[in-house]
Amino acid sequence: MGSIPPRSRFSLTRPAGWPLPGSERPHEWEATRERQFLRLRAVLKKSGVSKATLYRWIQSGAFPPPCPLNDAGNAVGWLEDEVEEWIDRRIAARNHPSQAGNEQQRRDRKTPKDGNPVVEVRSRKR
């Protein structure tokens, strides 16, 4: 009676700072997370694009720029929060295409002022 069961090899305790199930205040947990830099390989893995595409998006402002990690500037990293926010925006654009406006802008570029859509004809080389 009143004995404590032996601990299993799998601990059921939560790491410090993790929210409790059903927590109504997840923002408190977010405040306890440490900010972290991601290096290029991790950013490429998270974004799923090539290095050339990533740097093209950075140049056009479509992806957050890296932060220099040293004074020489030869080591850079991306803030994990900024990369996660970019992923969230991409998901939101997919789920709500009317808010993104990308498809309509694409159609507008191919439609001249007279309202007739441009038909692109590509010939095959033989």
Mean pLDDT of the chain: 76
How many CA atoms within 13 Å lie on the side-chain side of 53? 7
Residue 77, domain member (yes or no): yes
Residue 57, domain member (yes or no): yes
Residue 38, domain member (yes or no): yes
Residue 54, domain member (yes or no): yes
Higher pLDDT, 115 or 76: 76
Of 31, 18, 9, the closest CA to residue 81 belongs to: 31
Write out the DSSP string of 87-110: HHHHHHHHH-HHHH-HHHHHHHHH
Residue 92, domain member (yes or no): yes
Q: Using 50, 70 and 90 to split pLDDT, how confident is the model at 88?
A: very high
Residue 59, domain member (yes or no): yes
Q: Is 0.85 topped by the overall pTM?
A: no
Confidence at residue 56, expressed as pLDDT on a 0 to 100 scale: 96
Residue spans of beta strands (DSSP E) within the chain: 37-38, 67-68, 76-79
- Domain range for 89 is 34-100
Rg (alpha carbons) of the chain, rounded to whole number: 24
Residue spans of beta strands (DSSP E) within 14-96: 37-38, 67-68, 76-79
pLDDT in tens, 30-78: 555 678 999 999 999 999 999 999 999 999 999 999 999 999 889 999 9
CATH code for the domain of 41: 1.10.10
Q: Domain tally for the chain?
A: 1
Averaged pLDDT for residues 1-9: 55
